Amino acid sequence: MRVLLGQILPAVAAVLGLIVLWGLLVRLPGVPDYLLPAPERVWAVGWADRDLIGRHLWATVRIAVSGFVLGSVLGILVAIALTLWRPLRAATEPILIASQAIPPVIFAPILIAAMGFGAWPKILVVTLGAFFPVAISAGIAMREADRTLVDLLTSMGARRLTVLRRVRLPGAVPGIVGGAKISASYVVFSAIIAEWMGSSVGLGVYLQRSQASYRMDQLFAAVGVIAVLGVLLFWASALIGDLVLARNRAIAAGRST
Amino acid sequence: MTADGEQHPTTNEAGAGLVVEHITHRFPLPGAGLFGRHPGFRTVLDDLSLTVPPGSLTAIVGPSGCGKSTLLKVLAGLLIPASGRAEVNGTPLIGRPGGVAYHPQQDALLPWLTTLDNATLGAEIAGQSRAEARTRARALLDRFGLAGTERAWPDELSGGMRQRVSLLRSSLMPQPALLLDEPFGALDALTRRQLQFWLLDITAAERRPTLLVTHDIEEALLLADRVIVLSPVPAGIVHIEDRPDAELRREQREHGADHPAAQRILAALGPGSGT
């Protein structure tokens, strides 16, 4: 439980400190209540609305997690394809980078118009944002695999696919985990943008309605929920990543030096 | 360059053993970039020819950086030489990896495999069944001083143990020739002696032609039927020391009677190259 003492407690203390600061700030004269509601009011509104927020939250979680899983798998597959076939990499890498320059705000409405208001267009938006960090870091890690080990396998007569399976892929696990952590910190953001652009359910919808009706207290409550969700998703992915790393023994490379 | 009759050391019966003919290798010089007007090259191996008959061991000694390891990489199919030919029992090796059991200088263990899985890796990739390779590996664990480490990860082993796992892996590979790049470097004196005798035994028993790169002249004199001395870069053969059979070599070593041979090799290595 050293994790609890070392990492979680300081984080909780810092957040509580921020909330207290916020509570003091709204008590200053001249800060209008409709712009910056007091933390206790945000809490009260959020708690009163918990059933509704919970329903929206569940929709967002489903989209974010599905998109994350899909994006990570897609990212690894893309990295493998680009590693195995160099011309493909030269041809498609600029396109992949360009796909990241297009903001989801532009992309989401097009997908929604094409695929309807179901979950899939939104999952796709999240996937598109999530696959890229995994593909890039996995690709770099696979291409820059330990030269000695690649040479060894080659000298044994191993084919490219065997070298990939036995050396490049296991060696790339730290890179894949690193990329997945970056992805995990993006997925909630993408999911909410996608919902904002057109949906009937999800925290994005709740945010949009709160904003349209100038309910800053509701808006803040939803923002709080989103912040907590983002952190939890990141922690979960980091935890899974650590477990994979421990299993993969790639962590051993760092321990031996 | 085509290879015609005239071979440097000896001509064995046609196609038997490891035959290396007129290998020349060049590395591009750094700085000769995209628009380099002068294609700069450094010749590392200069027209090297040698033959290792079945069941015999040839040692290569030479100053540091003279291209000994490069020669092994060429024979292992990892580097394509500018010219020359090499084959083992009639099968060409140049540009065709997988033809020889190559033991690199680094122990090159896969960090995500246990001792046993690392040891059987080469045999598995050569198409042998894992079960059979494991049985053979287990039988050798004792002799390699690795008993009880079957399930250890490489980072849990000492440097000497890692080198022994690596050597075990090379010896389990089924290829018809063995190329060893300083396989005993990190070992303590006792294990070193043990594994040197083991190498003598398997060379005699398996009849595989074996090429050994070493820094250690005494090791070369004990293990090799022939010691080849290379010059500094560009490496060419400056001296060939033919040795008596293994039994006599052991005796000579015990009585210090291999001194003259060592003197000749040192002289060939030249002043200031006491590597």
Q: pLDDT of B165-223, one tens digit each?
A: 999 999 999 999 999 999 998 788 888 888 899 899 889 888 999 999 998 888 999 99
Q: Are A256 and A81 in contact (CB under 8 A)?
A: no
For chain A (257 residues), the mean pLDDT of every run of 10, in chain order, is 74 91 86 82 90 92 94 94 89 86 83 85 91 92 92 94 93 91 90 87 89 89 91 89 73 40
Question: Which residues of chain A lie closer than 8 angstroms to B78, CB-CB?
Answer: 151, 154-155
Give A246 to chain B, closest Cα distance, Å.
Answer: 10
Cβ pair A166:B121 closer than 8 A: yes
pLDDT per residue as tens digits for the range B84-128? 999 999 899 998 999 999 999 988 999 989 999 999 999 999 999
Interface probe with A: pick from B88, B107, B110, most Cβ of A within 10 Å:
B110
In CATH, what class is B1-30+39-100+176-275? alpha beta
Q: How far is it, in rounded angstroms, from Cα A41 to Cα A215?
A: 12
Per-residue pLDDT at B75: 94
Contact B110 A167 (CB under 8 A): yes
State residue A28's pLDDT score.
84
Task: Give residue B28's pLDDT.
Answer: 81
Q: Can you give the residue ranges of every domain in chain B?
A: 1-30+39-100+176-275, 108-174
Nearest CA in chain B to A148: B108
**More confidently predicted of A24 and B4:** A24
Amino acid at the residue A81 = A
Residues 6+ apart with CB under 8 A from B124: B130, B133
Q: What stretches of chain B show up as alpha helix (H) in DSSP?
A: 68-75, 115-125, 130-141, 159-172, 189-206, 217-223, 246-255, 259-269
Does a cis peptide bond (omega within 30 degrees of 0) precede residue B234?
yes
Q: Which residues of B touch A162 (CB under 8 A)?
A: 125
**What CATH number has the domain spanning A53-250?**
1.10.3720.10
